[in-house]
Amino acid sequence: MNVSEELIGLTAVVFFGLAVLIPVAGVTARIALKPIVEAMARYREMKGTDENTLLLERRMALMEEHINSIGRSVQVLVEDADFRRRLESQSPSQAAALPRGGGS
């Protein structure tokens, strides 16, 4: 056997070994790295969820304040309507003695 025949045989063995080892290494890496990648994905999802939660909490606080403001406005309107109803049902002398409602 001369050197070129040995080199061809060695090359064939190396290529055959690589053809078997590369897929095995890929499957092994996938199995080994899959939990790490999934953990990183969950962390990013949780981080995004925390930011979304803070944004929703701010929006809810603004909506609650707006609803409270509307409730106060409705209360003033109810008191004013009640005062007007009592005013219209009283005679002019009794109406002068009524306290003004709706000024709170």
Burial state string for 12-36 with b = 16 or more CB within 10 A and e = fewer than 16: eeeeeeeeeeeeeeeeeeeeeeeee
User: Where are the chain's structural domains?
Assistant: 3-97
- Read off the pLDDT of each residue in 7-16 and give the average, rounded to a whole number: 90
* CA distances, 20 to each of 8, 24, 25 (Å): 18, 7, 9
Q: What share of the chain is helix, strand, coil (3-state, %, to 5)?
A: 90, 0, 10
Is pTM beyond 0.75? Reply is no
Q: What is the pLDDT of residues 89-100, one digit of tens each?
A: 886 666 566 666
- Read off the pLDDT of each residue in 37-59 and give the average, rounded to a whole number: 85
- Read off the pLDDT of each residue in 36-65 and give the average, rounded to a whole number: 88
